[in-house]
Amino acid sequence: MNIIIVGCGKIGTTLLANLVAEGHDVTVIDNNPAVITEITNIYDVMAVCGNGADSEALEEAGVADTELVISATGSDELNMLSCFLAKRMGAQHTVARIRNPEYNERSINFMRKQLDISLAMNPELLAAHALYNILKLPSAAKIETFSMRNFEMIELRLKPDSLLDGMRIIDMRAKFKANFLICAVQRDEEAYIPDGNFVLKSGDKIGLTASPAEITKLLKELSILQKQARNIMILGGSRTAFYLAKKLGNAGISVTVIEKERAICEALSEALPKAVIINGDGAQQELLLEEGLHSIDAFVALTGIDEENILVSSFAQSHNVPKVIAKVNRDELIPLAEHWGLDCIVSPKKLIADILVQYARALENSAGSSMETLYKLMDDKVEALEFRVKDDFERLGIPFKQLETKPNTLVAGIMRDRKTIIPSGDDMLLAGDRVIVLAANQRINTLSDILKKG
């Protein structure tokens, strides 16, 4: 598929890397010659140095023959104008990065309709949603939601004293009453879609699927269920911090935000009357201790500096804060953070990349099933995809035990009439089902891709 990306900052470059890896033909537009030179040295893509809201630059990029234009510059208004012009010049679909909190959902929906923008994306708001979900279930390192929140997938790191250390997956069903499925395991650098004989070990990162109630039941049985965080400290007054503090405050949760820029503190105080805003340098350990680091339920580091987020989060963890989360955007720093024991890391640019990869695949394929959700798990080695089964799917009504699926794929869950099904060999797919599929080390475009041909 022909795709144009306007703006090659952190978000744009991440989208570029992911979409090139997907096999798409990508052209980039950026007004910085040094960025264009760096991009073309690394990636086999066409590049145009210019303004993404300039019709000549769009024309030079081949907008008339483009299926998808993604505008991800630092300016919301330029992104919207770029998408508007691209659509008028022949682009089939457009995506705009719109991140200013002043644009609420109602105004964004109005602008999307008037400007004919296919999708609006807000990395900071997505990150806030992800953080909020984790803070509701602090036992998890990561939570992904499917089927209108009726089905969840969580990632857990097995600690040395875990009840699952040395246990075969097939033996877990007999030991624990919850209805769940362990669908992915990462051990060191390898990712697996495990069978029943797979033996779990401490240090493994596991992905399990179930309904929210069953996940809570299992965590209780494993004696690792942490209470929902009610007293939270946020480091940094970023857009993500604003969105998160607003959601937490509306839920009745106590929030303290520490920000060293006085002007930002004043703006946050006005916008977040339910939160406590502290003007100070959160990198100073004395300040964190004075503001009650020992008594909080969770610490979230959201400054614009990854290294500071990692270091201060490590300090919070050393003071036994029950839940510590760090925002880390630079890929090369994530293994370092994990090595320091920070297993809960959020990357806004990765969240956006997942959505755009899903969107591009959905535009390419529609026969038999339609992709509705895509998440990358286990350090991007495993994909979890949600499909809606159409009535022309070729294997309707056939029990799974009679279907041959490809290695390293798994049907992890089915949602049917609001009922959550952890599938067995006797279950089958019916038209209208929502089905969650796991795939390791391979690309799945449609539901049929998990089936062996023949």
In whole angstroms, give the CA distance from residue 222 to residue 111. 48
- Matching residue, tokens 């405050």: 249
Cβ–Cβ < 8 Å for 13, 78: no
In whole angstroms, give the CA distance from residue 276 to residue 248. 12
Cβ–Cβ < 8 Å for 73, 79: yes
Listed residue (375, 437, 365) closest to 406, CA to CA: 437
β-strands 151-157, 142-146 pairing: antiparallel
Specify the higher pLDDT residue, 339 or 314.
314
Q: Provide the greatest CA pair distance for the chain.
A: 67
CA angle 66, 68, 72 (to 5 degrees): 120
User: According to the model, what pLDDT value does residue 369 have?
Assistant: 55
Q: Can you list the positions of beta strands (E) in 116-241?
A: 119-121, 142-146, 151-157, 181-187, 190-192, 205-210, 231-235
User: According to the model, what pLDDT value does residue 147 have?
Assistant: 67
Q: Which residues does residue 49 pair with via DSSP β-bridges, in sequence order?
A: 30
Q: Which residues does residue 209 pair with via DSSP β-bridges, in sequence order?
A: 153, 181
- The CA–CA distances, whole Å, from 245 to 252, 258, 275 equal 11, 12, 7
Per-residue pLDDT band at 142 (split at 50, 70, 90): confident
176-198: per-residue pLDDT in tens? 988 899 999 999 888 999 988 99
User: According to the model, what pLDDT value does residue 103 have?
Assistant: 78
Q: Which residues does residue 300 pair with via DSSP β-bridges, in sequence order?
A: 234, 325
Specify the higher pLDDT residue, 256 or 111.
256
pLDDT at residue 366 tops 60: no
- Matching residue, tokens 């610490």: 299
In whole angstroms, give the CA distance from residue 229 to residue 299. 10
Q: Delineate the domains of the chain, giving CATH numbers in brackets.
A: 2-121 (3.40.50.720), 128-221 (3.30.70.1450), 231-321 (3.40.50.720), 357-450 (3.30.70.1450)
pTM: 0.86
> Exposure pattern of 29-39 as b/e (b: 16+ CB <10 Å)?
bbbeeebbeeb
230-289: per-residue pLDDT in tens? 999 999 999 999 999 999 999 999 999 999 999 999 999 999 999 999 999 999 999 999
Q: Which residues does residue 145 pair with via DSSP β-bridges, in sequence order?
A: 152
Residue 351 neighbours by CB under 8 Å, 6+ apart: 123, 126, 127, 130
- Determine the average pLDDT of the residues in 101-112: 82
Per-residue pLDDT band at 339 (split at 50, 70, 90): confident
Q: What φ, ψ does residue 438 adopt, rounded to 5°?
A: -110, 140
How far out from the chain centre does Cα 143 lie? 9
Average pLDDT, the chain: 91
- The CA–CA distances, whole Å, from 347 to 111, 126, 159, 163, 273 equal 27, 10, 23, 30, 27
